[in-house]
Amino acid sequence: MRTQVGIVGAGPAGLLLSHLLHLQGIESAIFEDRSREAIEETVRAGVLEQGTVDMLNETGVGDRMRREGTVHHGIALRFRGGDHRIAMTELTGKSIMLYAQHEVIKDLVKARLHAGGPILFQVSDVAVHGLETDRPSICFTKDGRRQEAVCDFIAGCDGFHGVCRPSIPAGALTEYARVYPFGWLGILAQVHRLSEELIYTLHERGFALVSTRSPDLQRLYFQCDPEDDLALWPDERIWAEFRLRLASTENWQLHEGPITQKSIIGMRSFVVEPMRHGRLFLAGDAAHIVPPTGAKGLNLAVADVRVLSRAIGAYYAVGRTDLLDQYSEVCLRRVWMAQRFSWRMTSMLHRFPHDDAFHLRLQLAELDETTTSRAAATSLAENYVGLPFGDASPSPFYERR
């Protein structure tokens, strides 16, 4: 098998990269170890930055997002029982879109298959070879037969636990990591919409978040021990905790109802430098992880593949290699800005073990400043709606087809 760009992983990064390359007339093939049903049915929340929304629209895969997604123009910070709105659109001229990650995946899979783009689902024993040569390859097993795909470039879009990053020789990468001493217990609940905008809450018992999925299906989270056993969290105990943490002095009510899904996720920060080795380019979660407080994970993946697709496009269009050489540096500038913002949101809103009353007062003081200073509110809003992509290339090498 021969293709110009071999892409390992059919998550948002891999699928969007393949789509962007297709718009430039560049061949790619995607290799995914799960089934199509599995990647489309893995429920993940999604807060899309303005730039992500614009890119999906500009490249022809935003129709369903525009119909079914929900545009939000602000968020609320709740502390001391009161809500304080950050008016993102007023402060920045931009907004965000609530549209779940697995819905983005559905749209991208449909677009790639409609265009005849090869996505090989349920492959196993994937391995990458020849990364320092001009003909790297992806070896895999499909339908019981061992096969090889020879490529010009390989994109490692296979997530934090994928095979691509560990295939880079020891000593070639530097890893920066932080594991947080708490996780999120998240639920989907069949209740009426609780708020028109997301509510981020600081409470002495810990963080809580009110989000939404649809008018009658809501997603809520609260901070917990990452090692907690879900069996110890029956529905009534969950709702009791939300009642405590979301208590409001204003005209707001917590509607309770059947919980259809619950899970506990750990939280970590992770960055690998550089994001390239030879002809292998890492993108998305394969290169970096952010805690979900800042809603940056999916958006960073989009930013990565935007830069990478333009660099590959320049290579095939005019033989330029400088944009490929700059890929890691360009992406990492935005990655570290997102890490800083995610850390700010996480540390401002979560209770850490051994925090005392003094630290809580500092958190409240930071929230006070954020919600009373236009400059501080603007800084938060600018980061939340999305910083500029910061491409090395000022204009795209593709035209919509």
Which amino acids are annotated catalytic?
A: 72, 200, 292, 296, 384
Buried b (16+ CB within 10 A) or exposed e, 243-269: eebbeeeeebeeeeeebeeeebeebeb
Question: Rounded distance, CA 109 to CA 219, Å?
Answer: 25
